[in-house]
Amino acid sequence: MHKGAGAMFFRESETVELKEAVVDDIKKEIIAFANCDGGKLYIGIRDDGTVAGLDDPDGVSLQISNMVRDAIKPDVTMFLHYKTIEEDGKEIVAVEVQRGTDRPYYIAKKGMRPEGVYVRQGYSSVPATDTAIRRMIKETDGDRFEAMRCLNQELTFEAAKKEFALRKVEFGLQQMRTLKLIDHDNLYTNLGLLLSEQCVHTIKVAVFQGTDQTIFKDRREFAGSLMQQMNEVYDYIDFRNQTRATIEKLYRIDVRDYPEIAVREALLNLLVHRDYSFSASSLISIYADRIEFVSIGGLMPGIDLEDIMVGISVCRNQDLANVFYRLHLIEAYGTGMGKIMRAYKDVEEKPSIETTKNAFKIILPNINAKYETGKVSAPKAESIKGSVAGTEKSLGNEERVLEYARSHGAITRNDVIKLLEVSTSTASRVLRKMVKSNLLKQNGKARNTNYTVIK
């Protein structure tokens, strides 16, 4: 539920349309907004701006989304965002419509003709002229990398099949056509290439010791289908995304270096917005205090940084974005940056974006970096021992290992496996990390190895 800030004043404009209830005309308004610069549709508001309210706002949202799905071509659903707002004690629905990337949108029954295509003119939605329709088609189709035929027609889709199955989305010939991996001549497109094992684009990830590039710790290059790259790169970063415990008012709070949602959205952004007509790799650099995601290809013409921050985005790879949308990897168009910012809303340091003519960089700050640099001392595991953390189970893995090692004098890898109910490799990883953090000391070799607490 979204609370209106004071009473809103509703008035129709080029980007605002008011409707008292759901009427058939709504389709025209949505088409016009999607074909022009987007806009907002308020349902439950009379023409004069007074609030009539709705009995069933959820039902209204559903009714509109069904109507849109069945009656408007191409599919415009990923450009709509529904919100229920409370105004003067009554509920209304706000439908935000973004400018679509597959213009012209039209009423399916009428086709791509003036009587089917609507545009915004002043405060109303009117039929588009033939010239305007032709111009939209040209702008949309142009010479888009994704839609061109792929030079390699021997493609395999193991990773994509796995990802689609995992997300319970069909992936047969018909779906490959609908998603535009195959064109109308039954040839693979470049989008098909990106999702196949034969994809030629890679992501390079480098890990550095400090806050600059002087000391390298690790470097990897991820290749294969974008689906495989997405999963492997996420796991690689996730493995390095450490958890730090802090105590606040006796409660223990676990904070990871980077909010997982921010890492995920930045990675999806890197994949979806990259300019694949260049062969250079995307780059991810992990430093002690930040992660930088550098995507090849600057901002699209006509878009600047402020636009990105408020969620306006022109997609370079709209068909690829549509695949990600169908797989529920992205929930609507251009919402990624907002999610990244929200993940950092209670944190002092905020993510930032830098762009050059040919690159786009998202920088995520490490929330726990202040403890690393010694400006603030990180809470000691000791202080956690007596905290109100409740049962032993709710203590973090490291604390439980320390607790055990203290009370038994030492701990072995097998003890850790039993104590934490984890695999051998996880147990080894936890112990390695604790030795590195100077919490435990390793004694003995091979089978006789045990670990004691460093006093």
Q: Which fold has domain 2-141?
A: 3.30.950
Instruction: Please report the beta strands in 88-215, taking only residues with DSSP state E, as ranges in sequence order.
Output: 90-97, 106-107, 118-121, 124-127, 203-208
Domain boundaries, the chain: 2-141, 203-371, 389-453
* Class of the domain covering 203-371: alpha beta
pLDDT in tens, 386-404: 333 333 333 578 888 888 8
Pairing of strands 16-19, 39-43: parallel
Say which residue, 2 or 101, is predicted with more confidence.
Answer: 101
pTM assigned to the model: 0.60
Take residue 39 and report the two structure tokens written for it. 């806009």
Pairing of strands 106-107, 72-73: antiparallel
> How far is Cα 256 from Cα 20, in angstroms, rounded to an integer?
47
Query: Mean pLDDT score of the chain, rounded to an integer?
Result: 86
- Other beta carbons less than 10 A from residue 323's beta carbon: 26
- Other beta carbons less than 10 A from residue 428's beta carbon: 14
**Angle subtended at Cα 306 by Cα 300 and Cα 310, rounded to the nearest 5 degrees:** 100
> How far is Cα 254 from Cα 271, in angstroms, rounded to an integer?
29
- Tell me the three-class secondary structure of 285-346, residue by residue: EECCCEEEEEEECCCCCCCCHHHHHCCCCCCCCHHHHHHHHHCCCCCCCCCHHHHHHHHCCC
Q: How many angstroms separate the first and last alpha carbons of the chain?
A: 52
CATH number of the structural domain 389-453: 1.10.10.10
> How far is Cα 57 from Cα 136, in angstroms, rounded to an integer?
34
pLDDT in tens, 281-332: 999 999 999 999 999 887 777 677 777 766 666 678 989 999 999 999 987 7
Residue among 271, 291, 427 at smallest CA distance from 367: 291
